[in-house]
Structure formats: C-alpha cells, structure tokens
Structure 1
Amino acid sequence: MVQSLNTKVDLIMDATAFTGLADYGKIMIGDKGFEFYNSRDSRKYIQIPWKEVDYVIASVLLKGKWIPRYAIKTKKNGTYTFASKEAKKVLRAVRKYVDPNHMVQSLSFFDVVKRGVQSKFKKG
C-alpha cells in the first residue's frame, strides 16, 4: 500500500485520471497535496505536493454551470488531467491551498480556432 502525503484530508471523491488511457479511482485533497489512487491497481497513483503545483486549469462550459475536467500543471513534471462528478467541490477544496490567481480557465474551442487562424496569417 502507498503511503499518503496528507496528514489531514479535506475531500475524497471518485474520479478519472487521463493518463494515456482513463484510470478510475479516488482523488484525495488534503493539507500536503493532491493525490489520485487507482481503484484496481495500487501501483498506479499520482501524488502532487502543493508546493509543486504551478497552475490549476479548469475547462468551463455553459458559462460556468458545467466543468467536465480540470488539469493540474506542475512546475517540473507536466500536466495531469482529471474529471469527477462534482468538479466544483474539488476546485473549491483546491482553492484553499493554491493561490486563486493560479487557478485559470482553459481556452474555449473558438479561442483555439481563432489563435490557429491568426498564427496562419501572421507575418513573420
């Protein structure tokens, strides 16, 4: 069994981690970091200490009524994407430990298309 980073747990929720294939398990948000544990394979886990979190990126749809997934961008190891049924609860729990200025919305579909078109016609 894996040793948890956290000494105090704020939230435990069923979630999906998108690491190549979808891994189903539970996320745990506590005083020391963000953790994901796979429900089938105990060797598959993700532990991210709060001091390692650079940004939390939320994919917001329908003017904030639905958040299908969120990602945690770390300072060294890249970006980890997760989804859960109650993403707002998760993001509120994360907000206690991550600076709210480092919690951002991802680009919408139209913003991505607009940037692509602008880069095509950009002089340079």
Structure 2
Amino acid sequence: MVQSLNSKIDLTVKATAFTAFTEYGQIMIGNKALEFYHQRDARKYIQIPWQEVEYVSASVLFGGKWIPRYTIYTKQNGSFTFASKNPKDVLRAIRVYIGGDKMVKSLGFFGVLKRAFTRKPSQK
C-alpha cells in the first residue's frame, strides 16, 4: 500500500488521469501534495509535491463556464493531465498551495492557429 504525502486532505474528487492509458480514480488535494490514486490497482498512483509544481494550465471554454481538463507541469517529471467532476473546485484548492501566479489559461484553437501564422520564420 502506498503512503500518502499529505497529513491533511482538503478535497477528494473522482477524476481521470490521461497517461499512456486513461486511468480512473480519485484526486486528493492536501497540505503537501496532489495525489491521484487508481480506483482498482493500488500500484498505479501519481504523487506531485507542491514544491515540484512549475505551473498549472487549464483549458477554459465558453468564457469560463466549462473546464474540460487541466495539466500540471512539474520541474523534473514532465506534465500530468487530469479531468475531474468539479474542476473549478480542484483548481481553487490547488491555487491555495501554489498561488495564482502559477495558474494559466491554455491557448484555444484559434490562439494556436494565430500564433502559428504570426511567428517569424526564424522562430519555427
């Protein structure tokens, strides 16, 4: 059994982790880390300490009414993408521990296209 990094849990939500395969389980946000535990296999888990988080990017659609997924970028281990039942509650709980300056909104479809066409040829 895996030992939790947290001593106090603020929020527990059903979630989906998008790794090589789609994994279903629960996200637990606590005072020391964000933790994802698989619902059936105890060996499949993700633990991200708050000091390891570089920033969090959220896909925001329809003017903030719908957040389909969010990605946590770490300093050493790459990125982890999640979707959950209440993404606004999850992002608010994360903001308490990492601060609002590390929370960003990802580019939409047209933002990606605009950036692709407005870059100088030397930057591609």
TM-score, reference length from structure 2: 0.95
2:99 alignment partner in structure 1: 99
SS at match of 2:5: coil
Question: 1:118: how far off?
Answer: 2.5
More strand as a share of residues: 1
Root-mean-square deviation (Å): 0.9
**1:13 paired to 2:13:** yes
Identity value in percent: 62
2:3 alignment partner in structure 1: 3
Amino acid at match of 2:82: F
1:23 alignment partner in structure 2: 23
Question: 1:99: how far off?
Answer: 1.6
Structure 2 vs 1, CA of residues 57 and 123 (structure 1 numbering), >3 Å: closer, same or farther?
closer
Gaps of 5+ in 1: none
Superimposed CA distance per residue, residues 59-92 of structure 1 (whole angstroms, 9 cap, x where no aligned partner): 0000000000001000111110000111000001
Question: 1:21: how far off?
Answer: 1.3
1:118 alignment partner in structure 2: 118
Question: Counterparts of 1:26-105 in structure 2 under 5 Å?
Answer: 26-105=26-105
SS at match of 1:17: strand
Amino acid at match of 2:102: H
SS at match of 1:82: strand
Question: 1:98: how far off?
Answer: 0.7
Amino acid at match of 1:50: W
Runs of 4+, deviation exceeding 6 Å: none
SS at match of 1:14: strand
Q: Distance in 2 between matches of 1:79 and 1:67?
A: 18
